[in-house]
Amino acid sequence: MKRHVVILGAGFGGLELAARLSETASDAVHVTVLDRNDAFFFGFAKLDVMLGRQSAQDVRLPYRDIAKDGVEFRQETVVGIDPVARRVKTDIGAHDADFLVVAMGADYDMAATPGFEEGGHEYYTLAGAERLRDALSDFTGGRVLVSVLGQPFKCPPAPFEGSFLLHEHFTETGIRDAVHMATTFPMQRPVPVTGEVSQMFRDALATRGIEERSQQLVTSLDPAARVARLASGETLAYDLFVGIPVHRAPEPLAASGLAVDGWVPVDQTNLRTRFPHVYALGDVCKGPRMVPKAGIFAESAARVVAADIAAEISGADPPPPYEGSGICYAEFGGGLVGKVEVNFLLGESVAAERHEPSRAFAAEKDEFGATRRARWFGS
């Protein structure tokens, strides 16, 4: 009899897991994928929406297009999880799983930064990217502050990509001289994967005239006075505030006992949680060693989970351990994309190779998106 795999969340990790299981184990499993939304969109597509290069409609990939043998998609919101019974409650009904995989990503806690919802902008949601696009079209100059409001956050380069692309936008619209740009973040340095990788972003901020304020955390905004307050007690004036919101695990995970201290702890070799036959992968999980929240790592974790489930069912040897490896592309503006090949778990320390921004990597990044689209949605 086929085993039932229930995947909670059809994002980067959930989609790759469904595709993998369909390709490698469709004789042994049937898969139900649940998501509260009716469409997927790549995180990086939000940058295009922010700049008005693509509409929100353009970047939507509807789940009804998923065409994988043995995979059923259902648009339902998960409201409760019993990880012992492997039973999931949704707004519509309930699902019982032989194998349960939590791939629900990270949500945002906008209210964690008082004043942010009223007085700030963000491009980490599609709706936020649309609002920022509209605000940019009215913006004629002043102080622009791009601030990381908490850690951990998705995609370590994304706050800096935002700054580079805003710089490009202000240059193209002829107002760059009338704009003062600064970025604050709680880390010691931008994208602190390795010193070399960080330097690539540091240099790019400097050459674009973007003031870098490391180890500074904005804790609240005063929208009326247009002032950001820092943890240090200092204040910074702004005319346009763009924040990377505080992240948190989706609602039902803490109440279910899966999330502990914010995120779902896993054995990083195989992404198993402490509950038998319950896995967690991607942005929602954490392990003893740091692996950043990014689609590429969710995707490579999904491959390990697919292989581990197949091995459990067949009684074969477990697959090689998760390496936390992948390729990250980062937009530097002007059609240039940088590339970092990185491995977080294989050796004693992080190994990363950086490649300077180029148009060739921009083409590679397009190809990266196109192959996932074709693989998951058949288009």
Question: In which residue are the tokens 């067949």 written?
Answer: 314
The residue within the footprint of ligand FAD, chosen from 97, 104, 132, 200 (CB under 6 A), is: 104
Kindly state the DSSP code that residue 266 receives in the 8-state scheme.
Answer: -
The residue within the footprint of ligand FAD, chosen from 30, 154, 169, 208 (CB under 6 A), is: 154
For residue 127 the two structure tokens come to: 């709706």
Q: Does 122 bind ligand FAD (CB under 6 A)?
A: no
* Shortest distance, position 188 Cβ to ligand FAD, whole Å: 22
For residue 64 the two structure tokens come to: 């009804």
* Shortest distance, position 366 Cβ to ligand FAD, whole Å: 12
Q: Which one, 122 or 312, has the nearer CB to ligand FAD?
A: 122
Query: Binding pattern to ligand FAD, positions 281-300, x when CB under 6 A?
Result: -xxx--------xxxx-x--
Among the listed residues 375, 271, 368, the one whose alpha carbon sits nearest the alpha carbon of residue 324: 271
Question: In which residue are the tokens 């942005």 written?
Answer: 283
d(Cα 243, Cα 223) in Å, to the nearest integer? 13
Q: Does 12 bind ligand FAD (CB under 6 A)?
A: yes
Secondary structure (DSSP) of 21-85: HHHHHTTTEEEEEEESSSEE--TTHHHHHHTTSS-HHHH-EEGGG---TTEEEEE--EEEEETTT
Is-contact 103 6, C-beta < 8 A? no
Secondary structure (DSSP) of 198-265: HHHHHHHHHHTTEEEEET--EEEEETTTTEEEETTS-EEE-SEEEEEPPEE--THHHHTT--BTTBEE
Stretch that binds ligand FAD, among 36-44, 164-172, 180-188, 225-233 (CB under 6 A): 36-44
How many residues bind to ligand FAD according to rule CB under 6 A? Answer: 36
* Shortest distance, position 87 Cβ to ligand FAD, whole Å: 15
For residue 63 the two structure tokens come to: 């789940």
Stretch that binds ligand FAD, among 38-46, 94-102, 171-179, 220-228 (CB under 6 A): 38-46
Determine if the peptide bond prior to 292 is cis (ω within 30°).
no
Stretch that binds ligand FAD, among 30-38, 141-149, 269-277, 317-325 (CB under 6 A): 30-38
Stretch that binds ligand FAD, among 112-120, 209-217, 269-277, 280-288 (CB under 6 A): 280-288
Kindly state the DSSP code that residue 359 receives in the 8-state scheme.
Answer: H
* Shortest distance, position 41 Cβ to ligand FAD, whole Å: 9
Q: Which one, 121 or 293, has the nearer CB to ligand FAD?
A: 293
Q: Does 10 bind ligand FAD (CB under 6 A)?
A: yes
Q: Which one, 229 or 377, has the nearer CB to ligand FAD?
A: 377
Q: Does 43 bind ligand FAD (CB under 6 A)?
A: yes
Q: Does 339 bind ligand FAD (CB under 6 A)?
A: no
Q: Does 30 bind ligand FAD (CB under 6 A)?
A: no
What long-range pairs does 351-360 form, CB within 8 A, spacing at least 24? 352/193, 352/194, 352/196, 352/197, 354/194, 354/196, 354/197, 354/200, 356/200, 357/204, 357/330, 357/332, 359/335
Site residues, ligand FAD (CB under 6 A): 9-14, 34-37, 43-44, 46-47, 77-78, 103-105, 123-124, 154-155, 158, 250, 252, 282-284, 293-296, 298, 328-329
